[in-house]
C-alpha cells in the first residue's frame, strides 16, 4: 500500500482492501507500517502527535467494525498517542473475526540509523507482545526495524509463534532491498516459521511486500505493486520443517551467555 498524507483517504482505502480480501476468501489481512498516513520529513513532532489517536479512536474502531462485518482477522498499524509530549507510539494491532483487539504491540526498536532518527518523533514501546492464537496459527508481532534484531523473532518463535507478522515501511537506499529480502528470509529460516512482511510502496519506501515459508521460500513478492497479494500457509509445514531442522530444539541455552569483559 502507498499511504497518503491524509488519514481519511488512507482509511477509506484500508476498509476497501479488507472487503476485497474477505471476498477473496482471505482469513487474515495484514497491512504495512504507517498505514494511517505518510509522515513527510517536514511534519513536526507536535503536528504528528496532534494527529495520533488512541486504540479506541475512530481509525482503529472503523477497521475493527469492518473486520467484524466481513469476519476477517486484521493486522494493522497506527500512530498511538503517548503521555510523552510531542512523541507517539508506532503501534500494531490484531483483531479477531469479531473485530475485537486481541493484541497490541508498540515498536521497541526505533529507526535511528542510516540518516534517520525516528526517536525525534516517536517513543519506543517497553515490551514484546505475547504470541496470539488465531485461526491461521500463533502470531508474533514485530514492526519493520525490529527485523534487524534476531532476538525478538527468536523470543517470539521459542514462545510458540508459527507466523511472524512484521508491518514495515522499509526506506529505499543502497543495498536496502537486498537487506530486506535477506533479513526476512533469514528470520523465517532460523525460526522455522512463516514471515509475513507487508511493506509501504512509493514515497521513500521500497515496496517488495513478502511472505516467506518456514524453509525460506518466497511465496509472495509484490515488487512495486500496490494492492492485494494472497498466499496460503500451512501449520503442518511449520511442524515438518521444525522436525527436520530442529533449530529451536538444538539451541544450547545452557551455554549462551555474555562474556565478562
Residues catalogued as catalytic:
33, 107, 144
Whole-angstrom Cα distance, residue 137 to residue 161?
Answer: 8
Helix (H, G, I), strand (E, B) or coil at 8: helix
Read off φ and ψ for residue 67, nearest 5 degrees. Answer: -60, -45
C-alpha–C-alpha distance, residues 59 and 98, integer Å: 17
Tell me the three state secondary structure of residue 212: strand
- Rounded to whole angstroms, the Cα distance separating 109 from 112 reads 9
How big is the chain, counted in residues? 261
Distance (Å) of CA 184 to CA 55, 68, 82, 149: 28, 30, 30, 11
3-state helix, strand, coil in the chain (%, to 5): 30, 20, 50
Amino acid at each position: 500500500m502507498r499511504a497518503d498524507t491524509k488519514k481519511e483517504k488512507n482509511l477509506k482505502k484500508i476498509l476497501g482492501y479488507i472487503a476485497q480480501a474477505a471476498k477473496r476468501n482471505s482469513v487474515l489481512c495484514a497491512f504495512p507500517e504507517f498505514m494511517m498516513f505518510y509522515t513527510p520529513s517536514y511534519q513536526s513532532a507536535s503536528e504528528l502527535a496532534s494527529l495520533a489517536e488512541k486504540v479506541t479512536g475512530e481509525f482503529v474502531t472503523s477497521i475493527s467494525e469492518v473486520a467484524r462485518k466481513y469476519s476477517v482477522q486484521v493486522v494493522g498499524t497506527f500512530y498511538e498517542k503517548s503521555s510523552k509530549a510531542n512523541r507517539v507510539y508506532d503501534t500494531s494491532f490484531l483483531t479477531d473475526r469479531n473485530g475485537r483487539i486481541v493484541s497490541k504491540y508498540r515498536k521497541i526498536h526505533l529507526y535511528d540509523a542510516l540518516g534517520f532518527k525516528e526517536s525525534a518523533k516517536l517513543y519506543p514501546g517497553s515490551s514484546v507482545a505475547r504470541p496470539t492464537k488465531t485461526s491461521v496459527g500463533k502470531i508474533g508481532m514485530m514492526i519493520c526495524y525490529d527485523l534487524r534484531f534476531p532476538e525478538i523473532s527468536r523470543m517470539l518463535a521459542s514462545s510458540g509463534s508459527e507466523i511472524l507478522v512484521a508491518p514495515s515501511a522499509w526506506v529505499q537506499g543502497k543495498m536496502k532491498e537486498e537487506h530486506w529480502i535477506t533479513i526476512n528470509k533469514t528470520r523465517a529460516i532460523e525460526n522455522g516459521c512463516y514471515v509475513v512482511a507487508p511493506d509501504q510502496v512509493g514515497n521513500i519506501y521500497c515496496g517488495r511486500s513478502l511472505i516467506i515459508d518456514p524453509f525460506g521460500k518466497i511465496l509472495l513478492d509484490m515488487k512495486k505493486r500496490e494492492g492485494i497479494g494472497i498466499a496460503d500457509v500451512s501449520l503442518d509445514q511449520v511442524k515438518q520443517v521444525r522436525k527436520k531442522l530442529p533449530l529451536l530444539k538444538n539451541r544450547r541455552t545452557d551455554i549462551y551467555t555474555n562474556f565478562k569483559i
